[in-house]
Amino acid sequence: MSLIPSFFGGRRSDPFSLENSAFVNARVDWRETPEAHVLKADLPGLKKEEVKVEIEDNSVLQISGERNVEKEDKNDTWHRVERSSGKFMRRFRLPENAKMDEVKASMENGVLTVTVPKAEVKKPDVKPIQITG
């Protein structure tokens, strides 16, 4: 189990997250529906061409990218710089029921949505046995 520092101090436990980048903290929500695992990442200001979604070792979902630093003009006076820049990477170990070959990703309004369908849990074939005697 990895420990991830909370943005507001303290630590919280996340058994599925493998690492959290020190450069840009991409916030990710992960919910499970009866049909799929759905991950949503807030990536404001990034285009889909600047983001990579990859499957590693057929069990790890990796979301990565880079937000470039805005070019400085020598005539500009900066009063505040709060937006982060740099590389980010988030990795999530997916459960065994994830269909890794059917993962889909889409990006709209700075929100990346990754959908990982779930395999149906096969119920065991139960045959009743007649008791004689």
Kindly state the average pLDDT of the residues 31-60.
94
Q: Report how far residue 36's alpha carbon sits from residue 51's, in angstroms, rounded to the nearest whole number.
A: 22
Please give the mean pLDDT across all residues of the chain. 81
Q: Is the pLDDT of residue 6 over 90?
A: no
Spell out the domain ranges in the chain: 28-69+84-117
- DSSP annotation of 100: G
Q: Is the pLDDT of residue 60 over 50?
A: yes
- DSSP annotation of 98: B
Kindly state the average pLDDT of the residues 47-62.
93
pLDDT score, position 38 = 97
CATH number of 28-69+84-117: 2.60.40.790
Q: Which residue, 50, 19, 20, 34, is CA-closest to 112?
A: 50
* Whole-structure pTM value: 0.69
Q: What is the DSSP string of 47-96?
A: -GGGEEEEEETTTEEEEEEEEPPPPPPTT---S---S--EEEEEEEEPPT
Tokens of 95: 């459960």
Considering only residues 26 and 116, tell me which one the structure prediction assigns the higher pLDDT: 116
